[in-house]
Chains A and B, each alone.
Chain A
């Protein structure tokens, strides 16, 4: 990893508009949590619904799309990535640094608010808050690695990432049982279930889910580094 790349990426990612958009999501989650807590009190089932249905299914993937594609995609798009690549720095180091920023951002805007919302909604009983925060953490990391790879492979990484997160995971996953074994969401829910137990359900067991998460994270990062070595710069399209 490279400190300068980390610094440049962090400053570039958290520009005003992107940061505002990313902040919108956890603010909404926390507002929901507070409102529900004030009106309903502590309720495990409701907490589970909110954390899995809103935080895990909607908030974390969207944050990861914005952060994961935002650390490298715009730079490749407008050509300023040449300032990073025309240097004697290994491409894997560049990818690792950018991924670190993306994962840190998703953790700060996603996993942490999930923890807080869980505590607001369910208290500390049952480990619900910790379990879902952990699930959000690993899901966020895996999504970021995947979307970072996508932004190296295609200029339409945002749309492809969204197609995956929205169509594949939410729609197809709901209708086609087999698809659920290939879903980052399910793998992370397996991790959550290990901490929380019932009522969290997952289509895969913990060993399978955890292994696949690690494989995807490592594999996507490595592949992105390799593809970045052969990155072709074009003139303004």
Chain B
């Protein structure tokens, strides 16, 4: 018995299996895809959305929701209390300026950055997922853009939520709408600056090490220590009446730095011990802030350019 086109004869397997006499594969599951492919923009957008959701634990296990949502709750709680007090006791002005909120709760904000920045980038580095990302039509700069934007937006949520609660409370207490809206808007601008600076700091430090625990410790150490040190220096300088030194000392901590910009550019009240001295100081603060944002982003790009794909 011969089959017409059997160039190779495969061994016949008897026991109930398929009898393949010519070794033809009909279906191994892989199918070539020829349809439309969504472009790079879609990929970047998807990564951005996914990172943003992961920052609050959405799309991940229940355990990873605890810390970010807890911190968000702690962040909003004082705002709720203040809003309730203002509405209830019918005060005629907000006890706390919008621009001061982030400084007062800087410990909570720092913890959020420390917990979520490593969660965002350290996992990819540790488990070598970067090779999966970069073998797709996703450039390294796209990856950095998506991660950075997601972190900025997550921080905006964290910072803007309590501000919105305060604003709602102010409106309910029938405070003058125009003033409040203006201040709220300025508060949001300040929050955006905070978000951009902190996102840069957090992501750069987290991307240095694949160990998540060390990344968390590094971010917290830098944020807390700089804030504490600046506070000490400002306190000492102020008590010795060297206001210039106290003013410029604010450059060395992200929180005091952005607050300096808020004071000078947005005409807010100072929330730290000392405002930047004069116009020159204000310009310096603004320049350093913008330079820091750009510089940290550049560092991130550099970091990911040297990440190996294998």
Q: Which residues of A contact B (CB under 8 A)?
A: 17-18, 21, 24-25, 28, 32, 35-36, 39-40, 46, 49-50, 53-54, 57-59, 62, 65-66, 69-70, 73-74, 77, 156-159, 162-163, 166-167, 170-171
Contact = CB atoms under 8 A, between A and B. Distances in A.
Interface string B55-79: 0000000000001000000100000
Contacts of A28: 225, 229
A166 B221 CA distance: 11
B115 interface: yes
B228 A57 contact: yes
B218 interface: yes
Given A21-B217, A162-B114, A40 B240 contact: yes
Contacts of A74: 211, 213
Nearest to B119: A159
17 contacts: A18-B214, A21-B214, A21-B217, A21-B218, A24-B225, A32-B229, A32-B233, A35-B233, A46-B239, A50-B236, A58-B228, A62-B220, A66-B217, A70-B214, A158-B213, A166-B107, A166-B111
A21 B221 contact: yes
Contacts of A62: 217, 220-221, 224-225
A164 B107 CA distance: 12
B232 A54 contact: yes
Given A36-B236, A159-B67, A162-B111, A53 B214 contact: no
Contacts of A162: 111, 114, 216-217, 220
Given A18-B214, A66-B217, A167-B107, A49 B224 contact: no
Interface of B: 67, 74, 107-108, 110-111, 114-115, 208-209, 211-214, 216-218, 220-221, 224-225, 228-229, 231-233, 235-236, 239-240, 242
Contacts of B216: 158-159, 162
A50 B211 contact: no
Contact of B217 (A46, A54, A65): A65
Contacts of B115: 159
Contacts of B240: 39-40
A49 B236 CA distance: 9
Given A70-B214, A166-B107, A54 B228 contact: yes
Chain A: interface secondary structure? helix
A66 B232 contact: no
A53 B227 CA distance: 11
A24 B110 CA distance: 18
A158 B208 CA distance: 17
A130 to B, nearest CB: 21
A46 B213 contact: no
Given A46-B236, A162-B114, A17 B213 contact: no
Given A53-B228, A159-B216, 7 more contacts: A49-B236, A50-B236, A62-B221, A62-B225, A74-B211, A162-B114, A167-B108
Contacts of B231: 53
A69 B220 CA distance: 15
Contacts of A24: 221, 225
B236 A54 contact: no
A170 B221 CA distance: 14
Contacts of B74: 167
Contacts of B211: 74
B111 A167 contact: yes
B220 A53 contact: no
Nearest to B70: A163
A102 to B, nearest CB: 13
- In order of increasing CB-CB distance, the 7 nearest A-B pairs are A158-B213, A58-B228, A66-B217, A158-B216, A62-B221, A54-B232, A54-B228
